[in-house]
Amino acid sequence: MGSPETKQTKIWLAYSGLLLAVFFWAVNTVIAKAVVLEIRPMALSFYRWLIAFMIILPFAVSHLKKDGALIRQHLGFLFVLALPSVAGYNSILYFGAQYTTAVNISLVVAAMPVMTLLFSWIINKEKPLFLQSMGIFISIIGMLLIITKGSRQLLLNLSFNPGDLLIVFAIASWAFYSVLLKKRQIHISPISFLTVLIAFGTLCILPLYVWEFVVYKGFELNRVNISIFLYLGIFPSILSYIFWNYGVRTIGASVASVFMYLLPVFTAGIANVFLQESLFFHHFSGGLLILLGLLLSSRRRT
């Protein structure tokens, strides 16, 4: 058994890694909004994952050879998993960023665990507890409060910001992926799994990027844009994944999930400084309802 000092060091490393993972994702959200007028969504998504694939592949080759038989056995399912995760989630999020604020994106994304619980109920027939059901309901109210800006008139007229609705669709895409992953687990190494999903996801994005390029043309490949793509390919795509999984293995999924509550906090701070985005009452009240819903939905039987 490890010494108490070693265990304590691992715990602090896990906490630090989780903080960095969420921070990198927050910056990803702000970047999506900041570059929306210069770099189209599919270009942002395609080059992000292409760079991530090029970086991770040399480290994954030996693992891919070892897991080759299992990968071939589950090739179809791995392709299905890549659609709502690598190909779907961020591409839809980048489209949504054209029409809404980075703060709105982060607040709605914070409700992802509740959306996953709802999908588990629908697909896997995992009936939630009473408190979990209340959590789902309260979080949905919080999301509605944010996307309607607290206006009853907008709700009654079903006049929603298309960007906010796209973000809801994006988190539904990721929740669907999470439920599928739990329904049928594939016992290959994490790096093999991530590499295959990135490869399939990037291939799925490619035809959409080509169409986007033909219709809207490209973007200027300057030093700033290259830096943005390198950041997206390394930090939120690879390092966040590594740090998050280390945190989950070290302190458990339930404790790690609490760190996602910091996503709106980090995003709001960064967006306020770099994008001059303001916070309003519906942001605070909707965010608090989502937080309450998350706390209730994370309860388990003892």
Query: Using 50, 70 and 90 to split pLDDT, how confident is the model at 301?
Result: very low
Instruction: Give residue 163's pLDDT.
Output: 87
Average pLDDT over residues 128-152: 74
> Is the pLDDT confidence value at 144 over 80?
no
- pTM of the predicted protein model: 0.83
Average pLDDT of the residues of the chain = 84
Cβ(84)–Cβ(177) under 8 Å?
yes
Amino acid present at 67: D
Q: Per-residue pLDDT tens for 147-171? A: 677 777 666 665 567 888 898 899 8
Q: Is the pLDDT of residue 112 over 80?
A: no
The rounded distance, in Å, linking the Cα atoms of 299 and 58 is 41
Please give the share of the chain, as a percent, with pLDDT higher than 70: 91
User: What's the pLDDT tens digit per position in 236-286?
Assistant: 999 988 888 888 778 776 567 667 777 887 888 888 888 887 777 777 787
* pLDDT of 2 higher than 60: no
Give the rounded percent of residues in the chain with a pLDDT score beyond 90.
36
pLDDT value, residue 298: 61
Band the pLDDT of 37: cuts 50, 70, 90.
confident
Q: Which residues contact 163 (CB under 8 A, 6 or more apart)?
A: 96, 97, 98, 99, 100, 104, 105
DSSP code for 259: G
How far are the Cα atoms of 51, 80, 90, 213, 266 from residue 210, in angstroms, in the given order? 17, 21, 17, 5, 34
Contacts 24+ apart (CB under 8 A), 38-42: 38/219, 38/220, 38/225, 39/219, 39/225, 39/228, 40/212, 40/216, 40/219, 41/91, 41/94, 41/95, 41/97, 41/98, 41/212, 42/91, 42/94, 42/205, 42/208, 42/209, 42/211, 42/212
Of 245, 244, 200, nearest to 74 by C-alpha is 200
Handedness of CA 113, 119, 123, 126 (dihedral sign): positive
For 22-26, 100-104, 202-206, which range has the lowest pLDDT when averaged over its residues?
A: 100-104
Give the tokens for residue 117: 């619980």
CA distance 275 to 136: 31
| Residue 82 reports pLDDT greater than 90 | yes
How many CA within 13 A on the CB side of residue 18? Answer: 24
Taking the CB of residue 251, how many other CB atoms lie within 10 A of it? 17
DSSP 166-200: HHHHHHHHHHHHHHHHHHS---S-HHHHHHHHHHH
